[in-house]
Amino acid sequence: MLQRTRAMRQVPRRSRRLAPAIDRLEGRALLSTAPTTTASIMGQAGANGYYVSPVTIDLTATEPNVTPASLTTMYRVNNGPFTAGNQVVLTEDGTDVVQFFSADASGNVEAPQTLFVKIDTTAPIVTESAQPTTLWPPNHKFSTVTVTGTAIDSVSGINGSRILYSVRDEYGQVQPQGTAVVNADGTYSFNVQLQASRTGQDRDGRQYTIVVRAQNGAGLGATQSTIVTVPHDQGHAGAGGSGSSGGGHRGGKGNPGHGRDQHQGDGHGQGHGNGNGHAKGQGHGNGNGNGNANGQGHGNGNGHGNKHG
């Protein structure tokens, strides 16, 4: 009897120990299990974990043997108030902290989950200037051109803290390229060697285009360019000069410049001009004019007069 009584008393203890297992087999213990929420992120992926477009997050709660309609999902963004819903839309640049969880009708609540979503939809801002922008004289020598500017991105920063530069030569001959460091304040500076030369037939001058490109941490890029020119000529030549003339004397020497002075006789002039005096016979004057525009002057005249003696 004593042994049977012990056996009878052991049955309830064994039943209590086996109850969770029995409940699981029969599906009853599932009601004490919290839901599980999964997040699906949709957006255009960039570099370094950034999205370069607005982001939509779909939240899906599941629990075995429980219909999804009986589950409630809550979320909040950047420590704001929790809101019931299954979709989160993020549009602003920056890093958003999204927290979410789900609960079932029995009051079982999932531990909150956290997502960090980084968005940068804006390319960096790049500025550029060069000094000098004109190379003169065209003596075929190489000159130093200093390029300065800024490359700034307030969200994801400048990738590698460097900019890329390249030179496009209209003649395809002098085209240096390289990188330059972007300082903490967003400024950069570098030098390039460009040749001060151009062909005589190039009326609008030789152009070097210096291109600067910066890329932000999300992979978005921006370019800026500036032009350095080797002009065909520098400004305009001086005012035309005229040769002085006197009876029985050769025409005077003209001043540098552009112009045309016609008299009779013969003369010499710099620039474009003919100086003429009075003398018997034919006179020919040919000169090279050296004004600011490097021109040639020609003076030709036939002098007519009477010789006395």
DSSP 190-230: EEEEEE----TT-TT-EEEEEEEEEEBTTS-EEEEEEEEEE
Percentage of the chain lying above the pLDDT 70 cut: 65
User: Could you tell me the pLDDT band of residue 267, with boundaries at 50, 70 and 90?
Assistant: very low
Are the beta carbons of 256 and 270 closer than 8 angstroms?
yes
What are the tens digits of pLDDT across the range 214-238? 999 999 999 999 999 999 997 632 3
pLDDT at 235: 64
Does the domain at 125-230 match CATH 2.60.40.10? Answer given as yes
pTM, entire model: 0.65
69 half-sphere exposure, CB direction, 13 A CA radius: 0
- DSSP-assigned beta bridge partners for residue 57: 41, 88
296 half-sphere exposure, CB direction, 13 A CA radius: 3
Q: For the residues 296-308, what does the mean pLDDT come to?
A: 41
CA dist., res. 166 & res. 128, Å (int): 13
pLDDT at 234: 78
Exposed e or buried b for every residue in 38-52, given b needs 16+ CB within 10 A? eeeeebeebeeebbb
According to CATH, the superfamily of the domain at 19-119 is Immunoglobulins (2.60.40.10)
Backbone angles phi, psi at 303, to 5 degrees: -95, 140
Give yes or no on whether 19-119 and 125-230 have one common fold: yes
What are the tens digits of pLDDT across the range 160-187? 999 999 999 999 999 999 999 999 999 9
pLDDT at residue 242 greater than cutoff 60 = no
pLDDT at residue 15 greater than cutoff 70 = no
**Residue 169, amino acid:** D
pLDDT at residue 48 greater than cutoff 60 = yes
Write down the domain spans for the chain: 19-119, 125-230, 237-309
What are the tens digits of pLDDT across the range 81-118? 999 999 999 999 999 999 999 999 999 999 999 999 99
What's the mean pLDDT when you consider all of the chain? Answer: 78
Q: For the residues 9-15, what does the mean pLDDT come to?
A: 40
Are the beta carbons of 258 and 273 closer than 8 angstroms?
no
Extended beta strands in the chain, E state: 36-42, 50-51, 55-62, 72-77, 83-84, 87-90, 94-103, 113-119, 125-131, 142-152, 162-169, 177-181, 187-195, 206-215, 221-230, 253-254, 268-269, 282-287, 297-302
Which residues are CB-neighbours of 307 under 8 A, at least 6 positions away?
A: 280
Are the beta carbons of 110 and 34 closer than 8 angstroms?
yes
Q: Which of 109-113, 192-196, 290-294 has the lowest mean pLDDT?
A: 290-294
Which residues are CB-neighbours of 3 under 8 A, at least 6 positions away?
A: none
pLDDT at 260: 37
CA dist., res. 82 & res. 110, Å (int): 14
